């Protein structure tokens, strides 16, 4: 299933291009509005805004490109858990690429002192992975209803706050800001959230599957 | 049966009226209302979760009705809790709303269950609606609880009991307050469950009318 997704993505090469254009246009706007100097707080805020909207774009696209007939074919072939797991993995890889690109371009255009690169990388990786798995599950859920695009945002926004909050705090710490809690705590919170989201998806997705 | 239930509710309501009688201007008395409302909200939302899980394992639509009605009454209690808390905050902190993790948690709780209602509104087939909203209910509840646990640890709170503010435990020796506090929680929860029951019966009558 994962391979199949990968192949499809390979066929539509424009997706990586659209990611790039999205990133660059955001940066352009930031550049025109704020100039060349950014405080770490604003840098982190923009970085996470880009990641949030970028990952939701990736997840929505992975579901939108499926036709009804194709879905029916998949339904009969594989186990629901295999499906959701493959989706999460696939979207996760895509989002990691996005976060890598985002970090690269942000650092390329804006000099930022990252006091602890390992913390920054952990924050980006764990934050995007957890966000993506949550978004994947919620989008799969809202694709059972009318106008899934709007619905998935409404449903995902309130429950994604804890993830965003800990990821942002962690990346703030990595830029040398003093946080209220140690980065180790935040990392363990993020790991726990990631595991929780994946386990819940595996437990609950079979119920969405039956139709 | 209906008369019996109403009678029960009047008696119940009067019984709960008792602890509320000694209202004076000491703000600590808000403990009886604000805090107990939140406790009962969590109890009701937990009941809603249990109903949702039962729905998924049994598939009876009655469980679904119970889950929804419990969730909406729980949110009503949550809103009342916000209002009482906000009035209290005006007198203690000088503002109706401050940037406090517990207040943010409250706002997010209400947002999640609004999203739950929107999800239900966008699905028409009752079986499908029941199944999908049950899945969302379980998913959101678990993440909400995690959030309510980690949030106060990640940020500092103005609430009594946090950051060195005097709190409930300071008054632990005062057993009279406990005598009122715990029955008040039970009282609010009972009123909540009574409302759930009424709403469920109303829903049943309405759906009979439709037939």
CB A173 within 8 A of CB A186: yes
More confident residue, A57 or B91: A57
Here the tokens at position B136 are 């969302």
Predicted-complex ipTM score:
0.73
The domain spans of chain A are: 2-209
Q: What Å distances lie between residue A136 and A5, A63, A91, B105, B211, CA to CA? A: 14, 9, 8, 24, 39
pLDDT, residue B166, reads 44
Here the tokens at position B175 are 């057993």
Nearest CA in chain A to B104: A161
Those residues whose C-beta lies under 8 Å from the C-beta of residue A45, and which sit 6 or more positions away, are A168
Residue B200 has pLDDT above 60, yes or no: yes
- Distance between B149 CA and the closest CA of chain A, angstroms: 10
pLDDT band (50, 70, 90) for residue B3: very low
pLDDT, residue B187, reads 64
- Distance between A141 CA and the closest CA of chain B, angstroms: 7
Q: Where would I find the H helices in chain A?
A: 2-11, 14-34, 40-64, 68-77, 80-109, 117-142, 148-174, 183-209
pLDDT band (50, 70, 90) for residue B104: confident
More confident residue, B144 or B30: B144
Q: Do B118 and A154 touch (CB under 8 A)?
A: yes
Tell me how far the alpha carbon of residue B208 is from its chain's centroid: 29
pLDDT, residue A204, reads 82
Nearest CA in chain A to B153: A181
pLDDT, residue B164, reads 42
**What are the chain A neighbours of B156 within 8 Å (beta carbons)?**
180
Residue B144 has pLDDT above 60, yes or no: yes
Here the tokens at position A63 are 């579901």
Q: Does B45 touch chain A (CB under 8 A)?
A: no
Low-confidence ranges of chain A (pLDDT < 50): none
pLDDT, residue A18, reads 77
Q: Does A192 touch chain B (CB under 8 A)?
A: yes
Nearest CA in chain B to A155: B115
Read off φ and ψ for residue B53, nearest 5 degrees.
-65, -40
pLDDT, residue B54, reads 78
**Cα A19–Cα A150–Cα A56 angle in degrees, nearest 5:** 25
- Distance between A187 CA and the closest CA of chain B, angstroms: 12
Q: Do B134 and A162 touch (CB under 8 A)?
A: no
What is the full DSSP assignment across chain B?
-HHHHHHHHHHHHHHHHHHHS---S-GGGGGGTHHHHHHHHHHHHHHHHHHHHHHHHH--HHHHHHHHHHHHHHHHHHHHHHHHHHHHHHHHTSSS----HHHHHHHHHHHHHHHHHHHHHT--SHHHHHHHHHHHHHHHHHHHHHHHHHHHHHS---STTSTT---GGGGTT-HHHHHHHHHHHHHHHHHHHHHHHHHHHHHHHHHHHH-
pLDDT band (50, 70, 90) for residue B126: confident
**What are the chain A neighbours of B123 within 8 Å (beta carbons)?**
144-146
How far apart are the C-alpha atoms of A103 and A95, rounded to whole Å?
Answer: 12
pLDDT, residue B156, reads 54
Q: Do A204 and B139 touch (CB under 8 A)?
A: yes
Q: Does A196 touch chain B (CB under 8 A)?
A: yes
> Can you say whether residue B24 is alpha, beta or left, with left for phi > 0 and alpha for psi between -120 and 50 degrees?
beta
**What are the chain B neighbours of A162 within 8 Å (beta carbons)?**
143, 146-147, 150-151
Report helix, strand or coil for A96: helix
- Quote the DSSP letter at residue A84: H
How far apart are the C-alpha atoms of A103 and A87, rounded to whole Å?
Answer: 24
For the segment B47-58, the average pLDDT, to the nearest whole number, is 79
pLDDT, residue B167, reads 46
- pTM, two decimal places: 0.75
Average pLDDT, chain B: 67
Sign for the CA dihedral angle at B94, B95, B99, B102 comes to positive
- Distance between A155 CA and the closest CA of chain B, angstroms: 5
How far apart are the C-alpha atoms of B19 and B185, rounded to whole Å?
Answer: 11
pLDDT digits (tens, 9 = 90+) for B153-195: 665 555 554 444 444 444 444 445 555 556 566 666 677 677 7
């Amino acid at each position: 299933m994962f391979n199949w997704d990968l192949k499809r993505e390979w066929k539509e090469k424009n997706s990586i291009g659209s990611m790039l254009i999205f990133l660059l246009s955001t940066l352009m706007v930031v550049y025109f509005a704020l100039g060349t100097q950014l405080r770490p707080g604003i840098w982190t805020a923009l970085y996470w805004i880009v990641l949030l909207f970028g990952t939701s774009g990736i997840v929505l696209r992975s579901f939108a490109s499926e036709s009804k007939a194709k879905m029916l074919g998949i339904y009969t072939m594989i186990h629901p858990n295999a499906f959701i797991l493959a989706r999460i993995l696939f979207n996760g890889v895509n989002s990691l690429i996005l976060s890598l690109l985002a970090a690269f371009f942000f650092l390329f255009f804006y000099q930022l002192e990252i006091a602890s690169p390992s913390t920054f990388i952990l924050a980006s990786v764990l934050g995007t992975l957890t966000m993506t798995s949550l978004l994947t599950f919620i989008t799969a859920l809202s694709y059972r209803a009318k106008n899934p695009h709007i619905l998935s945002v409404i449903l995902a926004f309130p429950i994604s706050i804890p993830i965003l909050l800990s990821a942002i705090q962690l990346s703030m710490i990595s830029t040398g800001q003093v946080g209220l809690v140690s980065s180790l705590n935040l990392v363990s919170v993020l790991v726990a959230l990631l595991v929780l989201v994946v386990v819940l998806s595996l437990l609950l997705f079979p119920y969405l599957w039956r139709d | 049966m209906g008369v019996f239930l109403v009678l029960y509710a009047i008696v119940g309501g009067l019984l709960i009226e008792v602890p509320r009688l000694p209202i004076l201007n000491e703000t600590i008395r808000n403990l009886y209302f604000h805090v107990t409302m939140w406790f009962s909200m969590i109890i009701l939302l937990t009941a809603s979760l249990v109903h949702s899980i039962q729905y998924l394992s049994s598939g009876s639509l009655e469980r679904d009705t119970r889950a929804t009605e419990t969730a909406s009454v729980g949110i009503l209690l949550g809103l009342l809790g916000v209002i009482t808390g906000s009035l209290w905050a005006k007198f203690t902190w000088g503002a109706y709303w401050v940037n406090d993790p517990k207040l943010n948690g409250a706002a997010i709780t209400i947002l999640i269950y609004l999203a739950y209602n929107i999800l239900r509104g966008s699905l028409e087939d009752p079986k499908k609606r029941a199944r999908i909203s049950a899945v969302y209910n379980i998913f959101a509840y678990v993440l909400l609880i995690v959030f309510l646990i980690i949030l106060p640890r990640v940020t500092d709170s103005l609430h009594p009991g946090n950051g060195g503010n005097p709190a409930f435990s300071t008054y632990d020796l005062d057993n009279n307050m406990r005598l009122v506090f715990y029955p008040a929680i039970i009282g609010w929860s009972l009123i909540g469950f009574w409302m759930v029951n009424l709403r469920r019966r109303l829903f049943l009558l309405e759906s009979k009318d439709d037939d």
